[in-house]
């Protein structure tokens, strides 16, 4: 049984507040809870937090905190799953998930909460069932168009501002406006891979893991069976050998319970009856056994300038992708010593930028786009008060690299086909898109 449920923005603003049985969420409670939650590492798993005499469970999605209060005797796992499912519902019905989307669609979200929870008890979290009861139309802040990609990046993200691509290839809601329903029958399949890499200061590989998933999103009501063909050389485990080409080898693989696998062993075909909304049909993992080249190598050099009390940092970023590929929204976060106060820069191209963030004690180097086979450089001069010693420079944390690579998979996994079985009464459009992005890509300073 849930006492109260609320959604906080990345800055701690109270966006949604639904009170079922407990006292209403006072600003002091939400502010204090936000400070406690925001102090946790970004990659920390959902936790139970005690604050002001109450127990709270939270999950984080796209910078938003989904929080609910529970009693001491409740099992937290059900509520963690509920919060994750609630985030997926908002994305299904609103087309995306962000602070702006929640603010524009607060009426629809409250209506969803009324149907999902009855006096604190969970009723249903099925997108298919809920669409029969939801009457509010979603408000889309910026319609997505496949015909206008001049200012739009992959998956509808703004090319230079967005840091994280939306989880689905479409930014349209499942419930479009009433007069638009039935006009489009579209199916999107996203192949998304997140890389965790650690490199030494000399470029040597210390760790390389990949978390991948296939996400299906459909706007097709009463969709017939969908057949998805993955790479014929797809292998699970080190002992299996398939095909004659280069193997796509993963260490572990999990499928959604609705996936039919009777043709997977011999033909590498997945079969599913997709409901309207988003469905994560497959997850896979690769641990320290990448067969492809790493997309980036970054080399650094730190020097002290005793005469001017400056720290000179030279960075060289090399993109080892194919010349036909490119990475976007590349961002290098470089930690600097305590006492740093200013920054001067010399960058290899005018579209780059660098900024000093005193609160994070780091320098950010932004590269909007870099093509495969090329390299960029930056000379950063940081003003540091006090004495700089070699041990203090060596104790700096590793720098972190974030990026997005459209139309690329680090595992080599490809989708051979996406087909609907049987007769199609209306034209249907299917789309397959690939994205590789960083989860944690760290490089030790040298």
Which domains are present in the chain? 4-130 (3.30.450.60), 165-292+410-440 (2.60.40.1170), 296-406 (2.60.40.1170)
What share of the chain has pLDDT > 70, as a percent? 81
Sign, CA torsion 47/51/53/57: negative
Quickly tell me which residue has 């008890």 as its tokens.
121
Residue 358 pLDDT: 85
Neighbours of 78 (CB within 10 A): 12
Helix axes 106-116, 76-94, angle to 10 degrees: 140
Q: Is the pTM of this model over 0.75?
A: no
Residue-level pLDDT at 159? 41
Mean pLDDT to the nearest integer, 125-148? 69
Tokens of 364: 């950010």
If pLDDT is split at 50, 70 and 90, which confidence band does 162 have? very low
Name the strand (E) or helix (H) holding 383. strand 375-384
Cα–Cα dist 205/203, whole Å? 6
pLDDT 10s digits, 184-239: 678 889 999 999 999 988 888 888 999 999 999 887 777 888 999 999 889 888 66
Query: Which residues on neighbouring strands pair with residue 437, listed in sequence order?
Result: 194, 404
At residue 267, the 3 state secondary structure works out as helix
> Per residue in 73-130, pLDDT tens?
777 888 888 898 999 898 888 888 888 889 888 888 988 998 888 878 888 888 878 8
- Which of 79, 358, 416 is closest to 234 using CA atoms? 416
pLDDT of residue 241: 58
pLDDT score at 413: 92
In the three-class reduction of DSSP (H, G, I as helix; E, B as strand; rest coil), residue 277 is classed as: strand
pLDDT value for 63: 84
Which pLDDT tens digit goes with each residue over 271-285? 998 888 888 999 999
């Amino acid at each position: 049984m849930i006492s109260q449920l609320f959604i906080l923005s990345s800055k701690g603003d109270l966006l949604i507040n639904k009170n079922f049985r407990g006292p209403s969420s006072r600003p002091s409670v939400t502010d204090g809870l936000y400070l406690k939650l925001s102090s946790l590492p970004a990659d920390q798993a959902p936790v139970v937090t005690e604050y002001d005499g109450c127990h709270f469970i939270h999950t984080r999605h796209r910078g938003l905190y989904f929080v609910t209060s529970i009693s001491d005797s409740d099992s937290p796992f059900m509520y963690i799953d509920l919060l994750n499912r609630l985030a997926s519902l908002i994305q299904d019905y609103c087309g995306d998930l962000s602070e702006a989307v929640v603010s524009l669609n607060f009426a629809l979200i409250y209506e969803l909460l009324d149907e999902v929870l009855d006096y604190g008890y969970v009723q249903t979290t099925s997108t298919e069932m809920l669409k029969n009861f939801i009457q509010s139309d979603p408000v889309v802040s910026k319609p997505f168009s496949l015909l206008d990609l001049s200012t739009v990046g992959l998956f509808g993200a703004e090319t230079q501002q967005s840091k994280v691509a939306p989880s689905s290839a479409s930014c349209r809601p499942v419930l479009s406006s009433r007069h638009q329903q039935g006009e489009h029958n579209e199916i999107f399949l996203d192949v998304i891979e997140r890389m965790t890499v650690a490199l030494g200061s000399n470029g040597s590989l210390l760790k390389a893991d990949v978390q991948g998933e296939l996400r299906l999103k459909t706007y097709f009501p009463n969709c017939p069976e969908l057949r998805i063909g993955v790479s014929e050389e797809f292998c699970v485990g080190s002992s299996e050998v398939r095909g004659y080409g280069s193997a796509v080898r993963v260490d572990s693989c999990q499928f959604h319970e609705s996936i039919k696998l009777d043709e997977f062993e011999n033909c590498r075909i997945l079969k599913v009856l997709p409901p309207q909304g988003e469905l994560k049909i497959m997850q896979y993992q690769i641990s320290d056994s990448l067969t492809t080249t790493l997309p980036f190598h970054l080399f650094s050099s730190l020097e002290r300038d005793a005469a001017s009390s400056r720290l000179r940092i030279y960075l060289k970023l090399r993109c080892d992708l194919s010349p036909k590929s490119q990475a976007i929204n590349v961002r290098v976060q470089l930690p600097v010593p305590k006492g740093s106060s200013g920054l001067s820069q010399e960058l290899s191209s005018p579209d780059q930028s660098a900024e000093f963030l005193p609160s994070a004690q780091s320098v950010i180097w932004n590269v909007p786009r870099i093509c495969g086979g090329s390299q960029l450089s930056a000379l950063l001069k940081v003003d540091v008060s006090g004495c700089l010693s070699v041990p203090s420079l060596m104790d700096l944390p590793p720098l972190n690299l974030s990026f997005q690579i459209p139309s690329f998979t680090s595992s080599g996994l490809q989708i051979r086909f996406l087909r609907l079985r049987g007769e199609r009464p209306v034209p249907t459009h299917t789309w397959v898109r690939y994205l590789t992005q960083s989860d944690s890509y760290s490089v030790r300073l040298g």
